[in-house]
Chain A
Amino acid sequence: MRSPDLLRFNLRLLTGQWFRTLMTLLATAVGVAAVLLLTGMGEGARRFVLEEFNLLGNDVLIVLPGRKETTGGIPPLTGEGTRDLTLADAEAVLKLPGVRAVAPLVVGLTQAEAAGRNREQMVVGTSLEFFRIRQLGAAQGRLLPELPLDRAEAVCVIGSDVRRALFDQQPVLGRWLRTGDRRCRIIGVLEDRGVSFGTDMKDTVIIPVASAQQLFNTQGLFRLFVQVRHLDLIDSLKPEILDLIQARHQGERDITLISQDSLLGVFDDVLQLLTLAVGAIAAISLVVAGILIMNITLISVSQRTPEIGLLKALGASERQVHRLFLSEALMMTLIGAALGVVIGYTLLWTGHWLWPQFPVSVPLWALAGAVLLALAVALMFAWLPARKAARLPPVLALKGITDA
């Protein structure tokens, strides 16, 4: 039998029983769409997190005060140090060979006031290196001046949200801003960059680290970013930094070191696994669709028993009959899978349109996997009924008797 004839023959069959066909198509389509949707969402979540964290280069180590066991889990974002991590510690780390730069971080909330307006404001104390490490630039004016770490200066750089909230469209460079009981002069506005580590840089006021220490009356650092000279040095520098701080903290190893790699690695693994898991759960619906296809094919075989007998009488061999029923199931699945892909992508893009910040992408393995799985399931489940049809003795089949 020629392929176009086979196709036409099957198509006649499928359109002839359109309700049955539609239901089977729907089952397959829902299965494929579910796989696409769930893996698409999982992959979207993974990308979302990765993009968030990727702003930090992977040559950067983060030092947290306080010791936490980080055996596979997500490291703490709030330190619970017994001993403070100080600016002196930061200076000491900077002197280690292989360290290019350090950026200490002091963070706190305070009341900010300017131009008669008032708001609760996150204030970040840091140094110029912080901007380099985080790859932040100034949209207007300049960034913090290069200062010794322990020198306070009454200047600040503000994020775009702060600017909008306090000044609207007025020019801001050179104006005064009051944070808590201190004043600082605005020397720059930060360019718009995304959220990262849960901190929206658009909504912060950035001042020199020593100024922040005075403002919040603290010696302890919230974080210390350490940038190494070369990626390969990260692993060898980790113990060196730990040893150094331990020596400075009276033998107490009370800091936690995390690198973006380990952090991202954990997130990546977890989310990839999650995507795989939800994909697998969705795949179950495909298997259910397969069972439906098996039933439909079985019904088709018993309904068409006389026809099978006739086809055999007209010279169809067992192989031809087998192929006829298999191709019918495959065709149905292929159409169903195509429908499912369309539905899946439509839903994903609708979701993306509703929440544009959420990246949407179906991994290729999920797309190919879903379609291939649907076909494999159809082939598997239609195989037995098709063989049953092929093996029907023609004499009995012509009389409509299925079982010899």
Chain B
Amino acid sequence: MIRLEQLCKRYQLGDEPVQALDHVDLNIAAGEYLSVMGPSGSGKSTLLNMLGLLDTPDSGRYWLNDVEMTALGEEARAAERNRRIGFVFQAYHLIDRLSARENIELPLVLSGTPPAERRPRVDELLQRLSLDRHADHLPNQLSGGQRQRVAIARAVIRKPALLLADEPTGNLDSHSGQDVIELLEELNSEGITLVMVTHDAHMGRRARRRLWMQDGLLLKDEQDAQP
């Protein structure tokens, strides 16, 4: 489903150039559960942003579902993000003035889905994530775990094929972190491809496939035997 070919990205950090991705080749099949680990500055977040089309590589090519993303324009990449990719961030990134429901339906609003179609889909998801009591609450009325669940609901409301999570449990206590990770794994078991960046080795080990990165290079690619 995902194919990266000789992907390179270089940043200028102060005076020093940083090689965030150094000729990375990677294949990810549909439905995989992948964790990316490594020290900070190893390029794991850059890799995630590349996969999520938030960033463009300096060189190399990226195919998502056999479509070459590196050849698309800004407008088309935005549409791909909306349709195929869901993001979960460490800092939740909910919009403060919108209620949980409105935050969740934002991708549908952006894609121009009529309200009558949006409502049942949001309701269903709220119920499933046991957020229905909090539908009309603003983010600052929710706990951290609830906020991250709202963010996950927003990420999957368009039923994307790829779910990208950047330290999804980084801001949570271990109990809510456990909840969130189980929710992500449950979504993965239903077929969504899950790529999770973490520096928590314990979290990382839960994934069936584990990548280690350092200085923009893929150091290690471990895979469990298929269950």
Contact = CB atoms under 8 A, between A and B. Distances in A.
B75 interface: yes
Interface string B149-167: 0000010001000000000
Contacts of B54: 312-313, 394-395, 398
A5 to B, nearest CB: 5
Interface in B52-86: 52, 54-55, 74-75, 78-83
Contacts of B52: 313
A316 B75 contact: no
B79 to A, nearest CB: 7
Contacts of A9: 109
Given A306-B93, A398-B89, A398-B93, A316 B98 contact: no
B217 interface: no
Contacts of A4: 115
Contacts of B97: 12-13, 16
Contacts of B87: 313-314
Nearest to B105: A5
A314 B154 contact: yes
B78 A317 contact: yes
B112 A1 contact: yes
Nearest to B84: A315
- Interface residues of A, dominant DSSP: helix
Interface string A320-344: 1000000000000000000000000
A155 to B, nearest CB: 84
Nearest to B45: A395
A197 to B, nearest CB: 65
B203 interface: no
Contacts of A393: 55
A311 B78 CA distance: 10
A315 B75 contact: no
Contacts of B109: 1-2, 5, 9
Given A2-B112, A12-B98, A394-B54, A315 B93 contact: no
Given A1-B110, A5-B109, A317 B74 contact: yes
Contact of B74 (A306, A311, A313, A318): A318
Given A16-B97, A307-B95, A315 B49 contact: no
Interface in A1-38: 1-2, 4-5, 9, 12-13, 16
Contact of B114 (A2, A310, A394): A2
Contacts of A2: 109, 112, 114
B50 to A, nearest CB: 10
Contacts of A318: 74-75, 78
Interface in B27-65: 49, 52, 54-55
Contacts of B2: none
B223 interface: no
B65 to A, nearest CB: 16
Find the residue from A4, A5, A13, A309 having the highest chain B CB count within 10 A.
Answer: A5
A311 B106 CA distance: 8
A319 interface: yes
A66 to B, nearest CB: 76
B143 interface: no
Contacts of B49: 395
Interface string A175-215: 00000000000000000000000000000000000000000
A71 B215 CA distance: 86
Nearest to A2: B112
B157 to A, nearest CB: 10
B75 A319 contact: yes
Interface string A340-382: 0000000000000000000000000000000000000000000
Nearest to B75: A317
A164 B193 CA distance: 99
A153 B131 CA distance: 104
B93 A316 contact: no
B12 to A, nearest CB: 10
B107 to A, nearest CB: 5
Nearest to B166: A398
Contacts of A16: 97
Contacts of A395: 49, 54-55
A316 B52 CA distance: 13
Given A320-B110, A394-B54, A395-B55, A315 B81 contact: yes
Contacts of A310: 93, 95
Interface string A275-319: 000000000000000000000000000000011011111111111
Contacts of B81: 312-315
28 contacts: A2-B109, A5-B109, A12-B97, A13-B97, A16-B97, A306-B93, A307-B93, A309-B93, A310-B95, A312-B78, A313-B52, A313-B81, A313-B93, A314-B81, A314-B87, A314-B106, A315-B78, A315-B82, A315-B110, A315-B158, A316-B110, A317-B79, A320-B110, A393-B55, A395-B49, A398-B54, A398-B89, A398-B93
Q: Nearest 7 pairs between A and B by C-beta? A: A315-B82, A317-B78, A16-B97, A315-B81, A394-B54, A310-B93, A314-B107
Interface of A: 1-2, 4-5, 9, 12-13, 16, 306-307, 309-320, 393-395, 398
Given A313-B54, A313-B87, 15 more contacts: A2-B114, A4-B115, A12-B98, A307-B93, A310-B93, A311-B110, A312-B54, A314-B87, A315-B79, A315-B81, A317-B78, A318-B74, A394-B54, A394-B55, A395-B49
